Structure 1
C-alpha cells in the first residue's frame, strides 16, 4: 500500500488529471487538424506554369532548328571538305538540342513531334 497516492486537498485526483490532459491533447489535435483542412480548402491554386514552360520549350526548339538549317552545307559546297563536315556536325548538334528539348516536355508537343524526335535521337546514337 506504499504506492497508493492519497489525494491532497485542492488538487485533482490522478485519474482526473490524466482525463483532463487527454481531453486537452485531443482538443489540440482536433484544432490542428481542422486548421490544416481549412487552410488546404481555402488556399489559392498554384499558377499553371505549363503554358509558359511550353512556350519556352517551343522557342528553344524553333531557335535550334533554325540554327541547324542554317548550318547544313549547301548543294554547291564541295563534298567531303573539312568545312562541310564541321557544318554537318554543327547542324546535328543544334538538332540534337532541339529534339532533346521535345522529349522531356510531352505536354507541349504532339505525338508525331515526339516520335520524330525519338527516331532522330535513336538514329544518331548508333
Structure 2
C-alpha cells in the first residue's frame, strides 16, 4: 500500500473525479467510456469500471499498485488499467486521461492508422 497520507490520497481522488466529470461535460467521453488516473507515490488512483462519471464519489475510489494489484476500494478498476500502468512505468507522468472523443472515434473507423503529429507523443 502507498505510504502517502490518507488526506493526500483523498484530495487526489477528488481531482480524478473532477477531471472525469469535466471530460464528460466537455463531450470527450460518453457514458462510461474513457478513464482517468493519477499517481500518488506508488499508488495509482483510477476510475472504476462501469460507473458513469456523474455518479462518481469518494466511496468509488479505486487504487492499485504499479503491478496492477488492487489495494484500495471495492469496485474493479477500469479495463484500460494496463494502458495507465504502462504510462506510469515508462514515464514520470502524474496523471493519465484516456478519452473516447466522438471525432477521434469517428476518424478511427475511417483510417487504419493515425500518424503521431505532436512532439509530446515521442515520450510514449
Pair in the same fold by TM > 0.5: no
| Greater helix content | 1
TM-score by length of 2: 0.31
Instruction: Give 1 or 2 for the bigger CA radius of gyration.
Output: 1
| Greater strand content | 2
TM-score by length of 1: 0.30
> Larger relative CO (CA 8 A, sep 6+): 1 or 2?
2
